[in-house]
Amino acid sequence: MASEAERDPGRRFDEVAEAAARAFSLLPAAPQDLPAAGRATPSPARRISADPDTVERDLVRLVLTLVELLRQLMERQALHRVDQGDLSEEQEERLGATLMILHDRMTDLCEQYGLTMEDLNLDLGPLGTLLPPAD
């Protein structure tokens, strides 16, 4: 059964935005956010591994992840503009073709470095994944 966040992606984005706002807030942590007295803070689930053999691939993965995030944001903005009727039919066609070419190029770059599009979806721990699930 799909969770409420999966049924309503907008709610998931709101939750991520709220979590990010809390994470980057300059205010002191709220008492409920502090670890209980006497309890050790949990260690990170994963540590950074600086393996010289994979550093190039890992760097490419990070860069492609950021590019894919921006591509998806641009695609959502384009769909919003189409829904609003802000674009002419010619602009819609050109925008659609450009986004398809960009997606194809991203796929080609992933193949070139032995990655899949799923490899680009970073796990942010309690926040979930960086990119929304593929439709």
- pLDDT by residue for the chain (135 residues), tens only, comes to 455 545 566 677 677 767 666 555 545 555 665 556 655 555 544 555 567 777 888 888 888 988 888 888 888 898 888 899 888 999 989 988 998 999 899 889 889 988 888 888 877 777 777 777 665
Residue 90 pLDDT = 92
Q: Around Cβ 4, how many Cβ atoms within 10 Å?
A: 8
Domain locations along the chain: 56-120
Does residue 12 contact residue 128 with C-beta atoms inside 8 Å?
yes
Copy the structure tokens of residue 85.
Answer: 């009727």
Does residue 72 contact residue 65 with C-beta atoms inside 8 Å?
no
Residue 3 pLDDT = 53
Residue 86 pLDDT = 83
pTM to 2 decimal places: 0.56
Residue 94 CA to residue 100 CA, distance in Å, equals: 10
Residues sharing a CB contact under 8 Å with residue 62, sequence separation 6 or more, in sequence order? none
Does residue 133 contact residue 6 with C-beta atoms inside 8 Å?
yes
